[in-house]
Structure 1
Amino acid sequence: MPQHTHVATALSSERRLPGANKQEELKCHLSSSASGHLLREKEGEERGWRRKRKIVFHTVQAGGAGGAGGAAEDKKKKRRRWTSEGRGGRGGRGARAPLNLVTPARTCFGRQESGVILHRQLPMWQEALWTRGRYLLEKSDGGEAGEGPEGLGDGCPGFQGEVCVEGEKPQDWLYESYYRMSQQHPLIVFLLLIVMGTCLALLAVFFASGLKTEDHLTFLITVPAALFLFLSIFILVCIESVFKRMLRLFSILIWACLVTMGYLFMFSGGILSPWDQVSFFLFIVFVVYTMLPFSMRGAIIASGITCLSHTVTLSICLANTVPALEPLVWQILANVIIFTCGNLAGAYHKHLMDLALKQTYQDTCNCIKSPIKLEFEKHQQERLLLSLLPAHIARVMKDEIIQRLQGPNFGRTESTNNFHNLYVQRHTNVSILYADIVGFTRLASDCSPGELVHMLNELFGKFDQIAKENECMRIKILGDCYYCVSGLPESLPHHARNCVKMGLDMCEAIKKVRDATGVDINMRVGVHSGNVLCGVIGLRKWQYDVWSHDVTLANHMEAGGVPGRVHISSVTLEHLKGSYKVEPGEGQVRDFYLKEHGVVTYLVINPKTERHSPLLGVRSRPSLEGGKMRASVRMTRYLESWGAAKPFANLHHRDSMTTDNGKINTTDVPMGQYHFQRRERSKSQRRRFEEELNERMIRTIDGINSQKQWLKSEDIQRISLFFHNKALEKEYRSTTLPAFKYYVTCACLIFCCIFIVQVLVLPKTAVLGISFGLAFLLLALILLLCFAGHILQGRKGSLCSLTWFPTSSRVIVTNNPWLRLVLTMTTTALILVMAVFNMFFVEDPGGSLEDVLTTAPSEVLTTTPPALQIITELANRSNDSLLDYQEQDTGENKFYLPYFIYCCILGLVSCSVFLRINYELKMVVMLVAVVIYNIIILQTHSSLLDGFSKALYPTNELERPGVLKDLKTMGSVSLFIFFITLLVLARQNEYYCRLDFLWRDKFKRECEEIETMENLNRVLLENVLPAHVAEHFLGRNWKNEDLYHQSYESVCMMFASIPDFKEFYTESDVNKEGLECLRLLNEIIADFDELLSKPKFSGVEKIKTIGSTYMAATGLNVTPGPECAQEHDRQYMHIGTMVEFAFALVGKLDVINKHSFNDFRLRIGINHGPVIAGVIGAQKPQYDIWGNSVNVASRMETTGVLGKIQVTEETSLILSTLGYMCSCRGIINVKGKGELKTFFVHTEMTRSLSQGTVMP
């Protein structure tokens, strides 16, 4: 079985170079010719990097530019300087420097443009192309962008095309594209359909009413022309590429066309009145906010122009012809209130919809980002697991870990197997190589901890690369011993040749080190061919290992070998088939095991020996620097040129910037260049992550269209928008709604506007005051219920008696969907009813409007427009007598009738302000309201409206009014227009609310999966490393340029072996060629590992298993450094913990013996002292400890006695103070240490101290 040799490091004589000496040595090294070459090469690469950036920028700028005249201009403008933190040449992280940006000119549609051009001014495909070019440029030239907000372009999520200048907030062009395609495009399409449908409806009504064509030519020209114009725009809008490029033009054009239509409607088809086309202009105002792609500022300006122009136009046209201005003023004020209400409702709707859409966009980004992160976590987990275990074993073990993380009963049936799972397979026809670095123990005694870990990592990293090149798999590192196998996991016909070639390459590599540094080290290699059992045993600290008699023989082939030569067995020689020349090895002379088993051995003759180049001596540095640097320093500096990757160097990276075997180019590189290459490999991962996120977002945006929400979906029904999943539907309806109080507030503001309008135009009756007073009271109670919690929160002391209110308002209203529905229904029903309520109490006791006209003076009728004749006569009558006016105002002031219709429209708008209330409820409420309003207009109060029209257009004196001037027709059409518009907005809002809920639900589930993957990664990492070391590598502040190493002053090591297992292990058909023997060993090691889960053994760290030997340590999880002033017993308490753990191992083995009918006994050795801990190996990272104390602990086990715990004299003294009884064994001879006095620890303890001091 493998021998567990460890590097002896004399920490007591550890020497560290002062900083000045290190600087002097570095200066001496950089003055060498190789370093000079490095500096020149680095400067050349910097210049090449700049030239490449210039060339690419010039290519981007020149594309599409025509004419040679712009070449000189391009040459001037193509310079771009980047000076920001994280990008000062190659990405140093200094203090933040201001960004000096000279923006190059870019071309747009074949036309050269200069100055700063933001991405929102370019088409989306050009934005994506520019972004992609920037990314490919970064990827090609290898420059390092600073990470985080300091890096170029970083800190601007989703926006890669512009440079983030400090203090400037960049435009998120991805969000604009998302907003454009998900919200603006479908709404413009629906708006155009509504307008075209209105035009068709007006034409149908016109022809159905039998009006004369020659009397209404303006109408017949205006409406079809508008229909044709909007149809043309509709066709262009449906072409998404045109829509994206001409979005602003379309929005302005549609708005201008609508306003123009409104004025044509006003001045055609009849007389001009103060209430003319108010509903149509209110429609324009509302759609400017809700359906046209204006910004909030643009919408305010456009709607302001719309309202102001209507008001000013009517005021100017009517003011000069009205003898009494008072009635006109009240109507104009009513119009202003209606427009103000439309502006407030539209701005409110736009603001909340923008917030909701931004949230949906953020959730969309999260849902797109989470699969990327999940993919990253899975890739990281796969990479980490495959760095520990072969793929065929890793898959099975990963599934078991995931099941364990997801719960004990997740997706599995109750197992009837009482044994732990065994992940071991048998492989035949493989070759095993063992290699030991001769002289390294002496060299390590002169190393600092950092130098020792660096040397081991570089050496074994080089060996890993050689193994990769020769199709060998590294199995394990034992101190300075390295062994690997060829023919795993797939059989190879030339496995023996691969191992021999690898051994020769290893000897050649060590020879180069020896020649270059003058350090006396060499390589001793042994190779044997045969069969192996390979896999993982135990539950903790998995390490892929091999077992068999052939493995033991290969280990002894190395022990009986010759430094600098490859020692092979006769079996391996047969597999070589004459590929190499050999000579007798005489291994029996140097190793008793080989002699005992009669193994014939050979030494391979290196084919390169005769072609040895004398030029290798040129690289020898002892002649130049040998007197200035220690051997360990020379070794460390030379080995750095090999460029071995660091353990877990790619743990936080999506893309490995190294080669397949985890290394960069490992040809002889001048020292120092590796550091430059390391910086090249550490490019900003965040930039690549954002690039991938942007690309997926672009694909998502491209997949969005106006018809998508109407197509069949796996999650949402097309018509009702219900979720197919009933549980999801129930969860959506029960979500909290903190903004509900603002919905009620906005509805109350609309109610106030309705009240003001009716007060301005209606007769002042008692019914008007009482009805609105009661309605105000009820709405005030609803508002108080919604806001009481917030009021009481600010006045806790003064409103102690109403402590039940916060629960009602902040919990019940917010969290109770049924209560929200009741309050919504109450509020909207109240507003809708009050819009027409007073219309039922208007009577006509004192004559009709026709009487007013017939009694008016003839000069008024002949010189005044018909509409103003009414107003003038009403004004004249009011001047005659206030009493007469009060007696007949209900019959005479019928100009209030259009304003009832406008109040009905405002009532419908109040339904739409409840954005997150169920879409089907709002649809039903608005539909019922529109039907009832039309019944009132067309049936119950039809005579009143007919009388109003007849009064304006007497049959004998005035022509018949057109469709646009007929109050009944336009009132009904206006109601249906607003109903359809509000219904589309409600459905659009409902769809994206549900879509946002789906994104959130998906994001939640993916976050749980990501958390499982992260936990899996942590479990895997902690299965390789102690928890505190795993935190170091998982930490955000860890840099992959650093190797982990740590010195400890007092660590207790234990080696516990089962020597009887060697005799127990046999290979026969009965035990499946040794597989059943390993199953028992797996049970033993697994039971030992289970002890580590006990709280009292939380300080015990398993290091590894070596064959049937179990290695553990305590004292590694404490913070190293000067010992704190504490009690002597507490300072060495971890030594007592280790002894207790050894006792527990003995007890566990006794239980196993009873069940397996065996008589295994442990041989345990314990020692304490200073050690070095570190992680080495990029291919299979391995945590280990080194030091003289570790070697002594190993010798305590190998020289021990079955059933005994052997300790050194120093350790026995500590144990005696802790209450353990030790008996002196005597002085024994220990290999490499001379004669040592050792002690046995008794299993019976005499606790002179309290129980609390014995155990932690």
Structure 2
Amino acid sequence: MPRHRAFSEPELSAEYSADYSLSFPSDPDGNLRRSRESPAPQGCPCLPHSRRFSFSPESLEKLYQTYFRRQRHETLLVLVVFSALFDCYILGMCAGFSHMEKLLPALAALAGLVAHGCLFLLLKSRLLPENFSQKFLPCGLWALTVAQLWALLGLEFRRSFPEAVDTVGWQAFFAFSCFLTLPLRLARILLLAAAACGGHALVLGIAAFQREGTRQDVDGGELARQLLSNVAIFACAVAVGAMSYVMADRKHRKAFLEARQSLEVKLNLEEQSQQQERLMLSILPKHVADEMLKDMKKDPSQKELQQFNTMYMYRHENVSILFADIVGFTQLSSSCSAQELVKLLNELFARFDKLAAKPHQLRIKILGDCYYCICGLPEFREDHAVCSIRMGLAMVEAIASVRARTRTAVDMRVGVHSGAVLGGVLGQKRWQYDVWSTDVTVANKMEAGGIPGRVHISQSTVDCLKGEFEVEPGEGGSRCDYLRDKGIVTYLVVVPKQGLRHGVNGVKLSLTSSHGVSPPPVTATERPNGSLSPEQAEAAEAAGSASLELGHDNDNDDDDDDDDAEAPNPSFPNPRRRLRLRDLAERVAGAAQNEQELHRLLNEALLERESIQALKGKSTFRLSLRFTDPDMETRYSVEKEKQSGAAFGCSCVVLFFTALVEAVIDPWLVTNYVTFAVGEVLLLVLTLCSLAAIFPRAFPKKLVAFSTWIDRTRWARNTWAMAAIAIVTAADIVDMLGCRRARWVATNGTSGPARGGGGCAEQPKYYSYIALLALVATVMLVQVSHMVKLTLMVLITAATGAVNFSAWEPIFDHYDRRRGQHSSSVLVPSKYSMTTMIFVVMLSFYYFSRHVEKLARTLFLWKIDVHDQKERVSEMRRWNEALVANMLPEHVARHFLGSKKRDEELYSQSYEEIGVMFASLPNFADFYTEESINNGGIECLRFLNEIISDFDALLDEPQFRCITKIKTIGSTYMAASGVTPDAGANGFGAKKEPRSEKERWQHLADLADFALAMKVTLMNINYQSFNNFMLRIGKSGSGAVLAGVIGARKPHYDIWGNTVNVASRMESTGVMGNIQVVEETQQILKEYGFRFVRRGAVYVKGKGELLTFFLKGREKPGSFLGSAAVPLPHQVLENS
């Protein structure tokens, strides 16, 4: 999945910065493209081709349209409320004038109010069928609003003809509302609005012309100006409505992209969680991993207060420990190369890991060709001994195919013992889970004293079997001195002739597949020791093994994966969760390749997001909707809409059309032209200042800085918006007052307006319609809150009402008297109807603004959630990397992070000249005791943890950067030098030019300095703790090794080769307090000033006699040993 570089809003045009990094599978170069290639119209066909925005591919655009319709479906409630308020307006006007003529309009309005109330409840409760709500309801509501207006015209003026000015404001209001609320494409809304406005104008025009035919005093020019003014008002409502639709569409597209980003972040989060869990739990049991993660999240200052290094160690009673060793491994290794051998071990041990799942085994460690695991840890099982024996029998089966394929006498020797263990990790680097206890030592000796091809068990294990297996005397004491000295009675498991339900060697081989089908059983004559005859091994090989003939099931790899998923592995106590995470990872991988699947997941995410009431989970004030958390509210105020330029542009459009209406009504009113010119200039200044922050390159720096300050300052942004509305409103009020002076104070003093000249005083309703357009401009201010909009709308309504009832009262009264002379209908006084209309429209727009505010705050919370998820992804990635880096070398960890590896996949790298060191504490065994005073041995291991941790701390010194800790084996510390991704000079770099001998072997000298530093560190620990621990160190260099990871799902990093074997023998045959090396290593290191003492020839198993030396020190100490300025970890200086 794509990685997100920054948290920023996805933008849709050149008007905004393009810092959004999300890309679609089919559109890697951008999130959103203008449709220039598809012949089918996309977006809005009425817009210029360059402004048609749509997603590519078409399937994504269809998904967006579905999402857009669902989002707009909520706004249908707003349209229902608008219609209900209109019904209330009619009822109010009828109730204010008790007359029988008003009864019919009142009853119609009451019926409409009831219908709208029921519809509101149905929509709010989502009781209407979804198909009906999406396909038929929008057009039905539009038809209902049109019918309401026409019914009002028909019932209100049923005894006379309406004038061309009647209900124009309401028609403009509902036309604009269609763009705000209907969940349809822009082209369809334009068609519906044009039909409604056109029909309204046509009906009023016909009625007006009919009225003109019955009256002699009607001026044809005045009627034409009225109709043109109507068209201008409708055009303004439609134009601003279309702009609002485009702005909302852009906002919804950004929200859609953010939802897609949220989905990807969520999948990334789950993928990271799965990867972290898989890597941790493949190496560590869950209870240890959880404790480590908890400590990793702690504040560093808390860790500094700790007296000791953190140790993760727990005691577990009643477990069974299994040790298994490959017999004949030396012969096998001599018959193949190191690469082939490691590959074979990887395949074999990966198979063992799979076998371990069904009998509930937890693999502890791999030591060369030795494999050991435990049952009953971390969760207790009563059948731990039975499960361990089944595992041992299955391992003996698995090795049979290796014996058949390699034609060598390779076999498996298995030992099992039951008891208690201390399980955990030691040190601070290269964490590997291990177990310690006397019972672990016994289990190891059970394997050493066992018989190839048999499972060797102790008396304590037999006591736990409860007769599940038949056993025979094992006589382990005759083959192992430790068992004889301790008096441990041993047994060998007898394989039942009829086979075992869970599979043993020779009968009913291998695991059952996920389909419940087992491979055909292999039957043969059973050998006395329970192993397979050569003929039986060949039959087992032919019976169906997997790709590398290591005794795999006939099932394909996917089936094996299913076996793993379904088995209740101790490392994954919740198998269903593991299966869910696996399924999620597969969905993530499929989504990246399958666009349709990604879109389906996106649709599911959108539905889930829409079902969550985000604001309910956050504390907000009921009236203002502000967050009660000041920090959250401040953060929201900064995240304002980036469409203020378009909002100010709407104010310019409104001012232009209001001036046009006034110019048509009264071409001789000079005030109109003055206010228009001044107002447009001021609005253009506001618009340019707003655009400067969006297009910084097109404006002077000072203007850009000023614009940016306005954008980021809440009160300045509100003031800027108020100024725009004040300009539009002031222009209307000034024109109204100018009209009164120019037209009302006429030739005959107070006799009334001049006749025959028409003008503004004879058409006062249009100025109330202009005030309605000012309310429309207020709604378009997306950069301010609904409370600011309410304040502005209240001011507009109050100013218009004040003029209507004071300065313009004579004008409205004269207009009503003049109209009443030629109408038999009872008319509501215009000053009341117009002011009430503006008030009802104000309430409607406030309800809509509040709805938009809720949506904006909800989207903001979703955006914050996306950002927080991204932060969690980054934080989890840091934990993941830190954790894996503590288990695997950095270059190896990079290989395993970010992708899922197969069990048999092998990572390996060969090195030509490597140094290897083993350092053990032989007398720690005498120190270790499991008495209660030592908390069952935990306190002893705590001391060992301090020693190993101080050794680990040495690796942080710059001089030892080429040294890699490989692992700890009990109290033995293993490290290597030069094991780096690109071993050049001193183990680092990629130097291709020839190097001197000193540069070539510098890493080996550093390893020798590290061994000497370990001795000094241990001396300091002895000094502080009054102990006398001594190191026995073996070191070998100049040879080649193969480094690799065995088992991709349970990664175990190790190195193999002759150099490793020699270094191990140097340690085991060494003397405490000394560093033993072979002659070849001594010849290299003496050139670096190291001092040696010849020990002599030492017999080494598999190598014969080797001449060895003790490294005693250095004539010229290294920078670490000779620098008093760099104290050792936890060192107590002499002068302190």
Q: TM-score range by the shorter chain?
A: 0.7 to 0.9
Cα deviation per residue 1:64-93 (whole Å; 9 max; x = unaligned)? xxxxxxxxxxxxxxxxxxxxxxxxxxxxxx
Partner of 1:304 in structure 2? 194
Distance (Å, rounded) in 2 between the aligned partners of 1:746 and 1:893: 25
2:1033 and 2:1075 in contact (8 A); partners too? yes
Partner of 1:339 in structure 2? 234
Cα separation, partners in 2 of 1:227 and 1:1038, compared to 1, 3 Å:
same
1:515 and 1:617 in contact (8 A); partners too? no
Aligned CA RMSD, in angstroms, stands at 4.3
Secondary structure of the residue aligned to 1:837 is helix
1073-1082 or 232-241, which deviates more: 232-241
Partner of 2:733 in structure 1? 836
1:1084 and 1:1149 in contact (8 A); partners too? yes
Cα separation, partners in 2 of 1:760 and 1:174, compared to 1, 3 Å:
same
Which residue of 1115, 1118, 1130 corresponds with 2:978? 1115
Partner of 1:394 in structure 2? 289
Cα separation, partners in 2 of 1:619 and 1:517, compared to 1, 3 Å:
farther
Cα separation, partners in 2 of 1:338 and 1:577, compared to 1, 3 Å:
closer
Distance (Å, rounded) in 1 between the aligned partners of 2:1097 and 2:231: 109
1:432 and 1:484 in contact (8 A); partners too? yes
Would you say 1:259 and 2:170 are equivalent positions?
A: no
Cα deviation per residue 1:86-136 (whole Å; 9 max; x = unaligned)? xxxxxxxxxxxxxxxxxxxxxxxxxxxxxxxxxxxxxxxxxxxxxxxxxxx
Distance (Å, rounded) in 1 between the aligned partners of 2:587 and 2:242: 45
Cα separation, partners in 2 of 1:1245 and 1:589, compared to 1, 3 Å:
farther
Counterparts of 1:559-598 in structure 2 under 5 Å?
559-569=448-458, 585=474, 587-588=476-477, 590-594=479-483
Secondary structure of the residue aligned to 1:1079 is helix
Which residue of 492, 499, 524 corresponds with 1:613? 524
Would you say 1:1196 and 2:1107 are equivalent positions?
A: no
Cα separation, partners in 2 of 1:1250 and 1:990, compared to 1, 3 Å:
closer
Partner of 1:356 in structure 2? 251
Partner of 2:704 in structure 1? 806
Would you say 1:550 and 2:439 are equivalent positions?
A: yes
Which residue of 822, 833, 837 corresponds with 2:719? 822
Partner of 2:882 in structure 1? 1019
**TM-score between both structures, scaled by the size of structure 1:** 0.73
Partner of 1:786 in structure 2? 690
Would you say 1:522 and 2:419 are equivalent positions?
A: no
1:1166 and 1:1193 in contact (8 A); partners too? yes
Cα separation, partners in 2 of 1:773 and 1:202, compared to 1, 3 Å:
same
Which amino acid is 1:302 matched to?
Answer: L
Runs of 5+ consecutive residues of structure 2 not aligned to the other structure:
1-22, 33-54, 498-504, 508-522, 527-531, 573-581, 592-596, 985-989, 1123-1136
2:350 and 2:904 in contact (8 A); partners too? no
Which amino acid is 1:1027 matched to?
Answer: E
Distance (Å, rounded) in 2 between the aligned partners of 1:1029 and 1:1108: 25
380-389 or 579-588, which deviates more: 579-588
Q: CA deviation at 1:297?
A: 1.4
Aligned residue pair count: 1013
Counterparts of 1:1159-1178 in structure 2 under 5 Å?
1159-1168=1028-1037, 1169-1177=1039-1047
Partner of 2:367 in structure 1? 478
1017-1026 or 325-334, which deviates more: 325-334
Distance (Å, rounded) in 2 between the aligned partners of 1:960 and 1:148: 64
Cα separation, partners in 2 of 1:979 and 1:656, compared to 1, 3 Å:
farther
Runs of 5+ consecutive residues of structure 1 not aligned to the other structure:
1-146, 157-165, 627-632, 665-677, 796-801, 854-869, 875-888
Secondary structure of the residue aligned to 1:804 is helix
Distance (Å, rounded) in 1 between the aligned partners of 2:379 and 2:98: 92
Cα separation, partners in 2 of 1:719 and 1:1174, compared to 1, 3 Å:
same
Q: CA deviation at 1:991?
A: 0.9
Cα separation, partners in 2 of 1:1163 and 1:690, compared to 1, 3 Å:
farther
2:1091 and 2:1114 in contact (8 A); partners too? yes
2:225 and 2:664 in contact (8 A); partners too? yes
Which residue of 810, 827, 831 corresponds with 1:962? 827
Cα separation, partners in 2 of 1:1038 and 1:740, compared to 1, 3 Å:
farther
721-730 or 761-770, which deviates more: 761-770
1:462 and 1:644 in contact (8 A); partners too? no
Partner of 1:886 in structure 2? none
Q: CA deviation at 1:536?
A: 1.8
Would you say 1:242 and 2:242 are equivalent positions?
A: no
Which residue of 416, 429, 432 corresponds with 1:540? 429
Partner of 2:772 in structure 1? 905
Distance (Å, rounded) in 2 between the aligned partners of 1:395 and 1:289: 54
Counterparts of 1:372-391 in structure 2 under 5 Å?
374=269, 377-391=272-286
Partner of 2:992 in structure 1? 1124
Which amino acid is 1:246 matched to?
Answer: F
Distance (Å, rounded) in 1 between the aligned partners of 2:1078 and 2:448: 27
Counterparts of 1:900-939 in structure 2 under 5 Å?
900-939=767-806
2:903 and 2:1048 in contact (8 A); partners too? no
2:362 and 2:569 in contact (8 A); partners too? no
Q: CA deviation at 1:437?
A: 0.5
Distance (Å, rounded) in 1 between the aligned partners of 2:277 and 2:963: 28
1:1114 and 1:1138 in contact (8 A); partners too? yes
Cα deviation per residue 1:189-244 (whole Å; 9 max; x = unaligned)? 2322332332233233224324452xx78746764565566556556545624252
Distance (Å, rounded) in 2 between the aligned partners of 1:1251 and 1:952: 110
Secondary structure of the residue aligned to 2:59 is coil
Secondary structure of the residue aligned to 1:637 is coil
1:516 and 1:620 in contact (8 A); partners too? no
Distance (Å, rounded) in 1 between the aligned partners of 2:249 and 2:944: 65
Which amino acid is 2:895 matched to?
Answer: H
Would you say 1:441 and 2:330 are equivalent positions?
A: yes
Q: CA deviation at 1:1156?
A: 0.9
Cα deviation per residue 1:35-67 (whole Å; 9 max; x = unaligned)? xxxxxxxxxxxxxxxxxxxxxxxxxxxxxxxxx
Which residue of 861, 864, 870 corresponds with 1:1001? 864
Counterparts of 1:976-991 in structure 2 under 5 Å?
976-991=839-854
Which amino acid is 1:284 matched to?
Answer: F
Secondary structure of the residue aligned to 1:1202 is coil
Cα separation, partners in 2 of 1:1005 and 1:1232, compared to 1, 3 Å:
same
Cα separation, partners in 2 of 1:1098 and 1:644, compared to 1, 3 Å:
farther
Cα separation, partners in 2 of 1:303 and 1:695, compared to 1, 3 Å:
closer
Counterparts of 1:1034-1049 in structure 2 under 5 Å?
1034-1036=897-899, 1042-1049=905-912
Q: CA deviation at 1:376?
A: 5.3
Secondary structure of the residue aligned to 1:914 is coil
Which residue of 71, 74, 94 corresponds with 1:206? 94
Distance (Å, rounded) in 2 between the aligned partners of 1:1249 and 1:1096: 8
Would you say 1:458 and 2:347 are equivalent positions?
A: yes
1077-1086 or 568-577, which deviates more: 568-577
Which amino acid is 2:232 matched to?
Answer: I
Secondary structure of the residue aligned to 2:366 is strand
Counterparts of 1:671-682 in structure 2 under 5 Å?
none
Cα deviation per residue 1:812-841 (whole Å; 9 max; x = unaligned)? 122122211111121111211211212112
Partner of 2:315 in structure 1? 426
Distance (Å, rounded) in 1 between the aligned partners of 2:555 and 2:653: 72
Partner of 2:1013 in structure 1? 1144
Which amino acid is 1:342 matched to?
Answer: A
Which amino acid is 2:1023 matched to?
Answer: K
925-934 or 1218-1227, which deviates more: 1218-1227
Which amino acid is 2:93 matched to?
Answer: V
Which residue of 620, 628, 639 corresponds with 2:550? 639
Partner of 2:668 in structure 1? 764
Distance (Å, rounded) in 2 between the aligned partners of 1:337 and 1:893: 16
Distance (Å, rounded) in 2 between the aligned partners of 1:390 and 1:1115: 31
Q: CA deviation at 1:923?
A: 0.5
Would you say 1:949 and 2:844 are equivalent positions?
A: no
Cα separation, partners in 2 of 1:317 and 1:852, compared to 1, 3 Å:
farther
1:360 and 1:992 in contact (8 A); partners too? no
2:365 and 2:371 in contact (8 A); partners too? yes
**TM-score between both structures, scaled by the size of structure 2:** 0.80
